[in-house]
Amino acid sequence: MMKKNGLKIVTIGGGSSYTPELMNGFIKRYETLPIREIWLVDIEEGREKLEIVGALAKRMWEASPYDVDIHLTLDRREALKDADFVTTQLRAGLLNARIKDERIPLSYGQIGQETNGAGGIFKALRTIPVILDIVKDMRELCPDAWLINFTNPSGMITEAVIQHAGFEKCLGLCNGPITVMMEEPEILGGRQEDFIFRFAGLNHFHYHRVFRAEDRREVTGEILARLAGDPRANMQNVHDEEYLNDQLLAMNCIPFSYHRYYYQYEEMLERQLEDYRNHTTRAESVKAVEDELFQLYRDPALHEMPELLKKRGGRYYSDAACEAINNIHNSTGNIMIVNTINRGAVSDLPYNCITEVSSVITAAGAQPLVWGTFEPSERGYLQMMKAMEETVIRAAVTGDYGTLLKAFQMNPLIRHGKKAREMMDEMLVANEKDLPLFRDVIQELKQKGVAVRDETVRELCRKEASSDTMNL
C-alpha cells in the first residue's frame, strides 16, 4: 500500500481543535508508520481555524526528528488524489449546529445530546450526505485508500458508507471504548494490561465484558458491583448519574456511560435542563473551550499538544485513529474496537449491519470477534436502536419527511406525540442551511409558520442567514 516515499494521509476537517492530538499520534508512531505528507482539508467557513491549526501542526513536526510535508487546502479533490488513508473528523454545521441539537430538544423538555435522541438524528442528517460526497471523490481519486471515520454518529456514518455507498474499506472509530480500557482497571486496582476487554453493540450503545489476562477469569460482575457511584469509567462529557444497583447486579455485561441517558432518563434530563437554563450545555461549554484552545494554538512558540485539549472531550482520539491506520498498514492483527460489518459477531443483529465490536485488524480490515447473543433486555434495546439507525440513514439519503418522522417515533429518548413532531419541525427549520435534501419540506414548514423559539438558536440562525458562506 505504501508508496516508495511513504504514506499520504488526508484529514478532512483539518481545522478541528482535535488535529494537534492527531499529529501527536502520528509523530509517536512514525517509526512504524512512515508518512510522506499530510493534507489538512477544510471549508471556507473554517479557513481561519485551518490556518491556525495547520501552523501548529507544522511546528509540531518541525520539533520532531521527522521530515513530513504538511499541506493546507480548501480543495478536497486536490488533497484526495492518490491518498493512502483518509480520516474524517468534520462537523457539518460547525459547533453552532451542535448548540441547536442540544438546546431545541431541551426547550421541549427532552434530552438534548450530540449523538443520542433528536440531536443525534439531526447530526446524522447533516453529516451523511457530506460523507457520501467524500466517498464519491475517493472512488475517483484514491480508490485504494482506507476511510478512517471519527465523525459522529460514527456507527450510522459507517453504515451509510458501507451499505449505501458500497465502499467497504471503511472503519468507524470512537474514543469511548479506549476511555473505558484506560480508566476502568483502576476500579479493581489493576493496570490495562492485566485485563482483556470484549465489546459489542452499537456506537455509543455498546456493552462490554472483562476478563483477567493471567487466567481468563471473568471479572465483569466485580466491576458491576463497584460501578455505581464510581465515575472513573465514565466519559468526561456525560454526567455521573448513578445507575440503579439492582439493575447493574442483574446484568452480565457492563453498560457504556451513554446508557445513562436511557436508563436514568429523568435524572439526566434534569441535569441537562439546569445546564440549558444556565447556558452551560455541553455544546456551549465546548465552544468556550475551543475559543480558549485556538488562543493557545495561535502562540508561535507552541509546538506540542496543549494539556487543555483533554477538556475538549475527545481524549485518546489519536490512539484510535492513528492506531487503526498503523494496524492496517502493518497488518498487525491487533485487537481494536471499531464500527465494522457485523458478520454474525452479534447474533442478535443483522449479519451485514454495522456494529461496534472488538475486532482483529489487518491489512484486509476488521474481523470482528464473536460475542454471541445478549440477554432479552439488552437484545431488545439493541434491535430497536439498530432499526432506528437504519431508518435515520434512509431519511438522510432520501430527504423523506415521513421516514424521518418514523425514526423520531422509534427513538427511545424522544417522548412521542404532538410535541415530538413540533420539535422535529423546528429542528428542520433551524438546520435549513445544512439540509439541502429537505429544502422543499422546510419551505412548506416555514409557510405554515414553524419557527425557532429558543432565543440563542434563533440568533445563530439569523447570523447564518446573513452569511454567504456554505458548508461542505
Rounded Cα distance, 155 and 447, in Å: 35
Residue 60 grid cell: 509540531
Residue 235 grid cell: 466519559
Largest CA distance in the chain: 66
Is the distance from CB of 98 to CB of 273 less than 8 angstroms? Answer: no
Helix or strand run (H / E) with residue 337: strand 334-341
Residues 6+ apart with CB under 8 A from 443: none
- Angle among Cα 289, 50, 460 to the nearest 5 degrees reads 55
Residues marked as catalytic? 258
Which long-range contacts does 441-448 make (Cβ < 8 Å, 24+ apart)? 441/399, 441/401
Per-residue DSSP letter, 163: I
> Amino acid identity, residue 205?
F
Strand order from edge to edge, sheet including 254-255 = 195-202, 205-212, 254-255
Is the distance from CB of 370 to CB of 345 less than 8 angstroms? Answer: yes
> Amino acid identity, residue 280?
T
Is the distance from CB of 235 to CB of 205 less than 8 angstroms? Answer: no
